[in-house]
Structure 1
Amino acid sequence: MKRAFSEPKIYTGGADAKSWSKLPKKEQRDALAKDWYVYYSFRDPSTGKLKRQPNIKAGANRYGTKRQRYAHLRTIQRNLTFLLEAGFSPYADNTELEGELFDKRKGAPDKGAIQSIEKQGQQRETIGPKDGDIPIGVTEALEMALSIKKRTLRESSFIKFRSRAKRFGEWVAQRFGSGLNIALLDKRTVMEYLNEVLQRTSARNRNNARADLSSLFQTLEDNEIIAKNVVKGIPQLRTQPKRNKTYSPNLLAEVENLIKENDPLLLLFVRFVSYCFLRPIEVCRLRVRDIDVTDKKLYLRTKTKLDKTKIIPDILLEELPDISRMDPEHFLFTPEGIGGAWDTSEENKRGYFTKRFKVVKEELGLGMEYGLYSFRHTYITQLYRKLAKDHPSFVAKSKLLPITGHSTMDALEKYLRDIDAELPDDYSHLFEK
């Protein structure tokens, strides 16, 4: 009788595994860049001919060395050989085989090997490459996801997003080879990468990397490139956020006087942060057309909303130069002065003014806890404490809410707590006996 199956063999990327140590490094790298798998044929009952069955990888290509991959696939090969000799058939129900033959002889596969091999074939039909197809590599898949995300993210957000995706792709290529199929990445592998990010940087960076990767993998799942977003199940780590410190009254006067004497453009930039309570990057987004001097309004894109309207207080209008004849499409703040073209990213613009302010910090010996954002904290604190002198706390916060631009009272109260704006009255009398 003709044999029902061919002997399971291991494909090692076109290289001879037995003479691996003698191969040139380039051939080794090229081989590891390809998928390794166990393959075999089984006689099709309908035709009586041997038919190539789905390749069995079982996560072998997660390993980055020949030794690890080959050892993993050898185990699969041994298990499959045992099962085939015991009567396993990819065309039949193997339930009875599991109950009768497992663990009855030395060298039997672990319980569940039949289901594992069958599942591998099923997955290959849904998320893996079919015979003759080119697998979707990690780099290619990430680029595909990035091209989609680029249309939904702001420029400043996409730059960081793309950078984190690129670093992850480079890590995967270095660890498992550039040709690793994206469908083979699992939760454990992503966790290993995030743990390395944590050790190298901080919990905050690790959480940011996790969030961006989860968004990318969700895009791949939505477009049926992968079956499941494995990053979604990875929890965030608790972090201790770092915030810019509020200036004391004396320090504030010293900082502003130094800026006034040496950098009038930076002073006006600071005034927008201080009087309109804008974030530095929001000031960088302002164009001439966004400033309505007649109606005393400014229009901006914020962190949470596409468009927002805020009033321009008279104290700021008095310091604003005449912009009526400037090109409406020009940016309000540029390195050369007010109103001009500035073709660079928002991140670079914010970084430019941060560096200008760094000169002031260095002269005064201020640490990294003080920044442009500190002016926003300081002036909101001043405004709240003045309002709280004449009004109950809730009324003061209600008046402050539309000025700061926070979306809810809860958000404002949390912000005030974070910057220590709300302090109790002197409680010395409580210690008196």
Structure 2
Amino acid sequence: MKKSDPIKVVHRNDHSSLEIFVAKKRYSKPKLFTPKVDGKPSVAPGQYWYVYFWWRKNPEGPFDYQPRFKRNLNYLKTVKERKAAGNLMAEQYHEALKKGWNPETKSISGSSRRKKIVSLKDALQYAFDIKKKGKSQPTVDGYKFHLDRFNEWSSTNGISGMDVKQFGIDHFYEFWDWLRFEYIKDDKQPLSGTSINNHKRSLSALFSTMKNERLINDNFIIGIPLEDEDPQNNKAFTPEELVKVIKTLSSDDPYMIPIVQLIFYALLRPREVLRLRIQDLNTEDWLLEVKTKTESRSRRRIIEKIKPAIQALDIKGKPGHYHVFTYWNEPGVWEPKKLKTKVDTMGRRFSEVKNKLGFGREYGLYSIRHTAIMDLYQSYLNDGLAEHEIYPKLMGHTGHRSIEGVKKYLRQYSYALPPDHSDVYSIDI
């Protein structure tokens, strides 16, 4: 007699007899149905996988009901994935049956989406749906881009259907190595250290959400060391180089000049400039408001050097909701699905000029902002200010939230160089 079988003890009036009945189990053990072609498991179209078991509608009758459950099993692309997810589903249904679940009257999932989470892929999607609430579209796009690439790898390697609690740090290092040593972009180049680290940051954020939601016990990604990053992306121009860029823009694409000036003098990022609407520019008090990377709305002073560019813009009398800059070179409503489309469009226009001057891929529209910060830093040094005096001044201009953020920025782009120390040496050689 199996320990799990319920026992009925029936007492008769006659104290000389005792009858014991072993009740029939109402269900068979759930199994994964694996369709086969030529004797081998198949994921071909029309070959459906599902978990099934037998059930007695009458507790004392025969097995007469066979429920089948597919859920999202057939969306998985490989045999390995479907086996992992299907066997896990079978275990979960078995546990539910042992706890008294009746497949005739109620769903195992109930109304809770959490109970439907079976696999690593399901859990990550659940975390993503939570994480994206309240985030800006670029941030959401970043999470999705990195999650899609992880899903591409996990699906190919038969891991996406794995129980999320079984996915460990060794599995993640396999993905990490794939990014570092195997992944090749469309331009035949490997991923940069910065790109690899951005994958880690996005996925770590999702794993932290899964931990907070009690889907996993630990976010082990957070402790994995970052790759060395290439600081050459968006390298700053020298003052002489920037003069050449402006001169060429004046003849080839003058519409780009006020965009460059706002990046340089207001220290806005390209995407922040392209977010600007006419209502964001206050030409009476000479202030502008813009949604930034670190704040929902940030106020900036329109300094004297940029006033002529603002005055030259054709914004007078235009509706306040019009965007200041558009690809057709005048204010209007320019709202593609993604802000990145606007940034890429203007970035390509700038690239035509910088490529003409012989600047490589390490230079871009963002380089203008780095150039401005480098110029301010160097000017403060020339004025005799010590570094600890410069940091808070720069913080007021750049929008960083902390002195440490300013220091990290300067270290990353190698701006924080010590002054000439020739007079310190006591030996001449």
Q: State how many pairs are aligned.
A: 361
- Paired position in structure 2 for 1:285: 275
Asked whether the 8 Å contact 2:286–2:302 carries over to 1, the reply is yes
Q: Measure, in 2, the Cα distance between the counterparts of 1:249 and 1:171.
A: 44
Which of the residues 403, 411, 418 maps onto 2:405? 411
CA distance in 2, matches of 1:168, 1:326: 45
Matched, 1:295 2:285: yes
Question: Structure 1 residues 176, 10: closer, same or farther in 2, change over 3 A?
Answer: farther
CA distance 1:422–1:220, change in 2 (3 Å)? closer
Q: Partners of 2:225 and 2:206 in 1: how far apart? A: 16
- Distance of aligned partners of 1:145 and 1:384 in 2 relative to their CA distance in 1, 3 Å threshold: closer
Of 315, 323, 328, the match for 2:315: 323
Q: 1:3 to 1:193 in 2, by over 3 A?
A: same
Structure 1 CA distance, aligned partners of 2:404 and 2:173? 34
**Secondary structure at the residue paired with 2:331?**
strand
Residues 9 and 64 of structure 1, relative CA distance in 2, 3 Å threshold: farther
| Map of 1:204 onto structure 2 | 194
Aligned to 1:240: 229
Measured in 1, the distance between the counterparts of 2:376 and 2:146 equals 39
- Asked whether the 8 Å contact 1:191–1:234 carries over to 2, the reply is no
The answer to whether the aligner puts 1:334 opposite 2:326 as a matched pair is yes
1:169 pairs with 2:151: yes
Measure how far apart 1:364 and its partner are: 0.8
- CA offsets, 1:326-378, max 9 Å, x none? 21111121112242101112111111111011101221111112122222222
Alignment of 1:122-161 (within 5 A): 133=108, 136-138=117-119, 139-161=121-143
2:345 maps to which of 345, 348, 352: 352
Instruction: Pick one of 167, 181, 184 that aligns with 1:186.
Output: 167
User: For residues 131 and 282 of structure 1, do their structure 2 counterparts lie closer, same or farther at Cα, with a shift above 3 Å needed?
Assistant: farther
Give the 4+ runs in structure 1 shifted more than 6 A.
1-6, 66-70, 120-123
Query: Residues 185 and 211 from structure 1, CA distance in 2 versus in 1: closer, same or farther, beyond 3 angstroms?
Result: farther
SS at match of 1:204: helix
Distance 1:402-1:222 versus aligned 2 partners, 3 A rule: closer
Q: Is the 8 A contact 1:156 1:347 kept in 2?
A: yes
Partner in structure 2 of residue 391 of structure 1: 384
- Residue of structure 2 equivalent to 1:260: 250
* Percent identity of equivalent pairs: 25
Give the CA deviation at 1:397.
Answer: 4.2
- Residue in 2 that maps onto 1:91: none
Distance 1:185 1:280, change over 3 A: farther
Q: Is the 8 A contact 1:213 1:231 kept in 2?
A: no
Aligned-residue offset at 1:131 = 8.1
Structure 1 residue aligned with 2:10: none
Name the residue aligned to 2:302: 312
CA contact (8 A) 1:286 1:331 kept: yes
Q: Which residue of 2 aligns with 1:102?
A: none
Rounded to whole Å, the distance in 1 between the matches of 2:117 and 2:245 is 55
Alignment CA distance shift 1:218-1:423 (3 Å): closer
State the secondary structure of the residue aligned to 1:407.
coil
Query: In the TM superposition, what whole-angstrom CA distance separates every residue of 1:85-143 from its partner, at most 9, and x where no partner exists?
Result: xxxxxxxxxxxxxxxxxxxxxxxxxxxxxxxxxxx889956xx9x78547535455444
Measure, in 1, the Cα distance between the counterparts of 2:239 and 2:2. 94
Cα pair distance change 1:25/1:399, threshold 3 Å? closer
1:136 is matched by which residue type in structure 2? I
Higher share in helix: 1
Q: 2:81, 2:162 within 8 Å by CA — same for their partners in 1?
A: no
Partners of 1:314 and 1:371 lie apart in 2 by 26
| Structure 1 residues 172-203: Cα deviation after superposition (integer angstroms, max 9, x where no partner) | 3444388x365455114344333322331344
Q: Is the 8 A contact 1:210 1:231 kept in 2?
A: no
* Cα deviation digits, residues 233-268 of structure 1 (max 9, x gap): 662433224342222232221111001112122111
Q: What is the letter of the counterpart of residue 293 of structure 2?
A: K
Contact (CA 8 Å) 2:196, 2:227: kept in 1 or not?
no
Match of 2:335 in 1: 343
1:206–1:229 CA distance, 2 compared to 1 (3 A): farther
Residues in 1 aligned to 2:345 and 2:305: alpha-carbon distance in whole angstroms? 26
Deviates further, 152-161 or 205-214: 205-214
**Cα distance in 1, alignment partners of residues 130 and 2 from structure 2:** 53
2:277 and 2:320 in contact (8 A); partners too: yes
Q: Distance in 1 between matches of 2:308 and 2:297?
A: 25
Distance 2:269 2:138 in 1: 14
Question: Quick one: structure 1 residues 348 and 237, their matched pair in 2 at CA, closer, same or farther if it must change by over 3 Å?
Answer: same
2:333 maps to amino acid: A
Given the superposition, is the C-alpha separation of residues 16 and 329 from structure 1 closer, same or farther in structure 2, using an over 3 Å criterion?
closer
Cα deviation, residue 298, structure 1: 1.1
Which residue in 1 is equivalent to 2:44? 26
| Distance (Å, rounded) in 1 between the aligned partners of 2:81 and 2:148 | 28
Contact 2:77 2:155 in 1 (8 A): no
Q: CA shift at 1:64, angstroms?
A: 5.9
Q: Which amino acid aligns with 1:416?
A: L
In 1, Cα distance between the equivalents of 2:142 and 2:157?
A: 23
Q: State the secondary structure of the residue aligned to 1:343.
A: coil
Q: Quick one: structure 1 residues 216 and 388, their matched pair in 2 at CA, closer, same or farther if it must change by over 3 Å? A: closer
Q: Counterparts of 1:98-113 in structure 2 under 5 Å?
A: none
In structure 2, the gaps of 5 or more residues are 6-24, 55-59, 61-75, 110-115, 184-190
State the TM-score, normalizing by the size of structure 1: 0.68
How large is the RMSD of aligned CA atoms in angstroms? 4.4
Query: Is structure 2 residue 362 aligned with structure 1 residue 369?
Result: yes
Q: What is the deviation of 1:297?
A: 0.9
Give the aligned residue type for 2:242: L
8 A contact 1:194–1:209 mirrored in 2:
no
